[in-house]
Amino acid sequence: MNTPNRIEHQMTDKGYVPVYTTAVVDQPWDSYTKTDHEVWATLFKRQRELLPGRASKEFLQTQDEMGMGEQGIPKFSDLNAQLKAKTGWEIIAVEGLLPELAFFDHLANRRFPVTWWIRKPEQLDYLAEPDLFHDLFGHVPLLMDPVFADYMEAYGKGGVKAHSLGPEALSQLTRLYWYTVEFGLINTSEGLRIYGAGILSSKGESIHCLESAAPNRIGFDLLRVMNTRYRIDTYQKTYFVIDSYQQLFDATLPDFIPYYEQMAGRESTPAGQVLDSDRVFNRGTGEGWLVPRGSGPARISAMSARPWEPW
């Protein structure tokens, strides 16, 4: 198999993160090994057994509609035929996590970058950076939904703007992505459902986010979300719940510049904090809040005796 073209590691406020070239490549489909296809099949089956009744039905429907299945790693060209016809989005193959501006620019032009390589069999439950399974299984199906598709494009444009405004605006906008596109829940007549890709591609968190008493589940409020910190290496302490994709689109339609001005210099909210103004679906018990993502429920109770630290 090819190896991804990683150029360096970069120290950021989130820790040591890999940086890849911004090149768009051809998905090297013929180079996937039998093991690669088996990893896809295993993860696909595992999540699809778990997700009915947990994932947003739009997600499950669009995933089927675009022809993702458990047979093996899909060809991007096959998926693109469906996707382009439906919403005008396309997926492009990249080496891995992109620098922010390059990423925003793709979204703004309805291109979703998907990491071409897949995790190894020993990384089924967790890896620290996005791979093909996370990007393709988790993010791509909802690009078939017209409203969500428009939200993602608007987000990209907002990203380009925030990038020019400076680090504070950028970090606020990044929190919005985190708590919606990656870890969002949606309220339906049948109960809360998952639409965030970071959850949808994780077995443990798909259960935890809905069924655990530990995390807060709080109604979506734009500025509240943009002011709330997060950690990338544990289950979330708080999930934000939207009522519809339209709500998300409408809330983010206004020019954000006045919002950034309003929030400038304001102290950010710790990830686990509940505010008086919150619409609370569940007030988290906080149990297991220090557990790294990917470890099982046994570890959660083993660590629950530890005091939690705000972050």
Query: Where do contacts with Fe ion occur on this chain (CB under 5 A)?
Result: 197
Name the DSSP letter for residue 308.
P
CA separation for the pair 219, 131 (Å, rounded): 30
Of 38, 39, 45, nearest in space to 203 by CA: 45
Site residues (CB under 6 A) for ligand PHE, limited to 178-197? none
Residue 39 or residue 197: which is nearer to ligand PHE going by CB?
197
CA separation for the pair 75, 79 (Å, rounded): 7
Least CB distance from residue 134 to Fe ion, whole Å? 6
Among 255, 267, 276, 309, binds ligand PHE (CB under 6 A): 255
Phi, psi dihedrals of residue 271, rounded to the nearest 5°: -55, -35
SS3 of 283, please? coil
Least CB distance from residue 216 to Fe ion, whole Å? 22
Site residues (CB under 6 A) for ligand PHE, limited to 159-178? 161, 176
| Residue 158 in contact with ligand PHE, rule: CB under 6 A | yes
Residue 117 or residue 148: which is nearer to ligand PHE going by CB?
148
| Residue 282 in contact with ligand PHE, rule: CB under 6 A | no
Q: What residue 96 binds from ligand PHE, Fe ion, none (CB within 5 to 8 A, per partner kind)? A: none
Residue 83 or residue 173: which is nearer to ligand PHE going by CB?
173
CA separation for the pair 147, 151 (Å, rounded): 6
Question: Closest-CB residue for ligand PHE?
Answer: 158
| Residue 245 in contact with ligand PHE, rule: CB under 6 A | no
Element (DSSP H or E) covering residue 176:
helix 167-177
CA separation for the pair 243, 220 (Å, rounded): 8
Name the DSSP letter for residue 141.
G
Locate all alpha helices (DSSP H) within 73-221, ordered by sequence: 76-87, 100-108, 132, 146-165, 167-177, 197-200, 203-211
Least CB distance from residue 254 to Fe ion, whole Å? 25
CA separation for the pair 263, 88 (Å, rounded): 34
Residue 173 or residue 300: which is nearer to Fe ion going by CB?
173
Residue 183 or residue 259: which is nearer to Fe ion going by CB?
183
Q: What residue 255 binds from ligand PHE, Fe ion, none (CB within 5 to 8 A, per partner kind)? A: ligand PHE
Among all chains, which residue has been given the structure tokens 């675009």?
66
Of 38-46, 153-161, 182-190, 292-300, which segment contacts ligand PHE by CB under 6 A?
153-161
Among all chains, which residue has been given the structure tokens 């596109």?
181
| Residue 122 in contact with ligand PHE, rule: CB under 6 A | no
| Residue 154 in contact with ligand PHE, rule: CB under 6 A | yes
Among 201, 236, 252, 282, binds ligand PHE (CB under 6 A): 252
Contact 74, 67 (CB under 8 A): yes
Least CB distance from residue 299 to ligand PHE, whole Å? 35
CB atoms within 10 A of CB 132: 23
Least CB distance from residue 261 to ligand PHE, whole Å? 12
* Rama region for 265: left / alpha / beta (φ>0; ψ in -120 to 50; rest): left
What is the contact surface with ligand PHE in residues (CB under 6 A)?
Answer: 151, 154-155, 157-158, 161, 176, 252-256
